[in-house]
Amino acid sequence: MRILVTGGAGFIGSHVVDALLAAGHDVRVLDALLPAVHRAPPQVSADVEFHAGDVRDAAAVAAALRGVDAVSHQAAMVGLGLDLDDAPAYVGCNDLGTAVLLAEMARANIGRLVLAGSMVVYGEGRYTCGEHGLVVPGPRPEADLSAGHYEPRCPGCAGDLTPGQIAEEAAPDPRNVYAATKLAQEHLAAAWARTVGGTATSLRYHNVYGPRMPRDTPYSGVASVFRSALEAGVAPRVYEDGGQRRDFIHVADVAAANVAALGRAAVGMRAYNVGTGRPRTVGQMAGALAAARGGPEPVVTGQFRLGDVRHITASPARIERELGWRAHVDFEAGMTEFANAGLR
């Protein structure tokens, strides 16, 4: 197939391009090369047709879609988006950009989309209470966080909760601007699929890390922030008590999930968790990076950010069952590679 990868010069997008080429596909890239993300010149394979352009530009999108069979939509503004001053930029990049892309795909009669989704659509993860069973805790009160009480409480009895792995059937509960835009992207894709009879697959990435990750910017993930600190000889600063549980997945596994998703044949929208199913804490991740890099040990600060969630880990059962994909990169090996890999 000939596949357009939007954002194909970026961190995840460039790995998706590599995986598609290795699988024998013809690949075209559309990327706006925004300076907030691309601080170094992008490395685009000579085997790829590159189009410089923004997904919000209908003419640029239409030109990039000519002769294409499917789209892997990786272009997005990422980060927490905690400040509402950022809302117009996030909505413009993520939701308007997706709407323009889908409209042009409909005009070009292209019926296959793989969307870079995110686990942030869930808000807090899956929790059970000994008295009330499965519950959905609300946002953690600032007073609790200030007092060092980081675990969410049961909304029924204010008791302790046990975190578990969340499945795709969980109701979305976006807790910040970025999360809201990622959920809106899924709704737009679902509407497009119903309207044109297309196949839309959202891959809800969990915490992606690996080579080519952007350096410490407002739009980089926590793994990149820690890795950048270690490169500068500075101890990683871990928020809260470091006990936040996440599912850290190597970018090579994420790229392989994109290749697998292109083979999905069913019409309509379907979402999949892309995670390892083997959660770690943020403190463990910081410690693994520091040990592999030979840098200073992490410092647990007790600081917090309103809008952050405590635990969010994935059940990858659906994607393993339906698409035959599973993560292969071992956590320790992946972190050792990442600790010594170059950043962009």
Residue 17: how many other CB atoms lie within 10 Å: 29
Q: Is the pLDDT of residue 10 over 80?
A: yes
Q: Is the pLDDT of residue 314 over 60?
A: yes
Quick one: pLDDT band at residue 67, thresholds 50, 70, 90?
very high
Quick one: pLDDT band at residue 44, thresholds 50, 70, 90?
confident
Q: Is the pLDDT of residue 217 over 70?
A: no
Give me the percent of the chain exceeding a pLDDT of 90.
81
Quick one: pLDDT band at residue 175, thresholds 50, 70, 90?
confident
Write down the pLDDT at residue 220.
62
CA distance 1 to 3: 6
State yes or no: is 178 an active-site residue: yes
What phi and psi, each to the nearest 5 degrees, are found at residue 36? -65, -25
Please give the average per-residue pLDDT across 82-89, as a whole number. 79
Amino acid 37 reads: V
Confirm if 105 and 71 have CB atoms less than 8 A apart: yes
Give me the DSSP letters along 304-323: --TT--SEEEE--HHHHHHH
Q: Is the pLDDT of residue 222 over 90?
A: no
Instruction: Give the burial class of 335: count Cβ atoms within 10 A of its Cβ; 0-12 exposed, 13-18 middle, 19 or more buried.
Output: buried
> Which of the residues 178, 205, 239, 272 is marked catalytic?
178
When the pLDDT of each residue in the chain is averaged and rounded to a whole number, the result is 93
**Helix, coil or strand: residue 207:** strand
**Which pTM was predicted?**
0.94
Please give the average per-residue pLDDT across 82-102, as a whole number. 89
Please give the average per-residue pLDDT across 71-88, as a whole number. 82
